[in-house]
Structure 1
Amino acid sequence: MAISLVGCTNGAGQQGENDAPNQRPIIERLAGDIDLVPPAHVLDKGKALMSYSDCATCHKAADRKRGPAFHDIAARYPMNSTYIDILAKRIVLGTKGAWGNVVMPPHPTVTEDDAKTMVKYILSLGPQE
């Protein structure tokens, strides 16, 4: 007795061009013009503020950790005063859902001005090439 197996496939198990390992997801840039170019001393202060913060607990510059990579944030948001205000408020008050189900806890000890300075530094990093 011979048994013949014939199978159909829908491509499952095959790797498509969008399924390449280690491929970074495409980050859609939000609408808005660049309306601010922070001076170097502001960016230096933002970098220093971040180095004394707990940002590195959840974020890395180039790779997603618990939260989005700083380069991904810079890829999504233009250096725009409206987005700087929004992101600074998210740092101080916390947020959920901007990057999936990740929860960013509030940082009530960070002033809104310091948070804005930190955001300017993050956005200055630009998207990762």
Structure 2
Amino acid sequence: MRTLLIALTIPAVLVACSSVPDRQERHGAGNQRKPAIARLAGDVNVTPSVSVLDKGKVLISYSDCAACHKAADRKRGPAFQDIAARYPMNSTYIDILAKRIVLGTKGAWGNVVMPPHPTISEEDARTMVMYILSSDRESE
């Protein structure tokens, strides 16, 4: 009986010991820095006022944006700082992103689906986008 117990214990210990480096490697891989986000081409041609940015912040706080987005970390959707890192404060991008908020989109950040928000006006969506794009300056 004792021999059987030893015979079963040794393989179990070997398996457990051999899997520890795998856990450490997986854990270590999570600590790597995420790759830099490539900024899209375009000149900054919009400088929103402080009151517009404040209004954008309020509109976002009263919306369901926080269900999928966070300021600095990816949640279901990209972080606001990542969006700001990709898109310059440009009227064309502001219009495109505002339409994506209102109409919804898929594929801009992988397979993530941005549901439509038809109750948000395009003007309010533009204001929200300007606030989001301004978060790039806060991180500098």
TM bin (shorter chain) = 0.7 to 0.9
More helix per residue: 2
Residue 37 of structure 1: CA displacement? 0.4
Aligned equivalents of 1:64, 1:22: Cα separation in 2: 15
Structure 2 length-normalised TM? 0.77
| Residue aligning to 2:130 | 120
What is the Cα deviation at residue 24 of structure 1?
2.1
The correspondence for 1:60, drawn from 30, 46, 70, is 70
2:109 is matched with 99
Q: CA deviation at 1:80?
A: 0.1
**Map of 2:85 onto structure 1:** 75
Cα separation, 2, equivalents of 1:41 and 1:21: 38
Which gives a bigger RCO, structure 1 or 2 (Cα 8 Å, sep 6+)? 1
Question: Which structure 1 residue ranges, 4+ long, deviate > 4 Å from structure 2?
Answer: none
C-alpha separation between the residues in 1 aligned to 2:96 and 2:128?
13
The structural deviation recorded for 1:23 is: 1.3
Helix, strand or coil: the match of 2:77?
coil
Alpha-carbon distance between aligned partners in 1 of 2:79 and 2:133, rounded to the nearest angstrom: 11
CA RMSD of aligned residues (A): 1.8
Give the match for residue 18 of structure 2.
none
Aligned sequence identity (%)? 73
When the two structures are aligned, how many residues end up with a matched partner?
Answer: 114
Q: What are the ranges of 5 or more consecutive residues in structure 1 without an aligned counterpart?
A: 1-12
The structural deviation recorded for 1:102 is 0.1
1:86 correspondence with 2:96: yes
- Look up the equivalent residue of 1:82 and give its one-letter code: T
In terms of mean alpha carbon deviation, does 110-119 or 20-29 score higher?
20-29
How far the C-alpha of 1:125 sits from its partner, in A, is 0.6
Query: Residue deviations 1:25-45, cap 9 Å, x none?
Result: 210000000001000000000
Q: Hey, what does 1:6 align to over in structure 2?
A: none
Q: Amino acid of the residue matched to residue 92 of structure 1?
A: V
- Specify the structure having the higher radius of gyration (Cα): 2
Post-superposition offset of 1:20: 6.4
Aligned partner of 1:32: which letter?
Answer: G
Letter of the structure 2 residue corresponding to residue 93 of structure 1: L
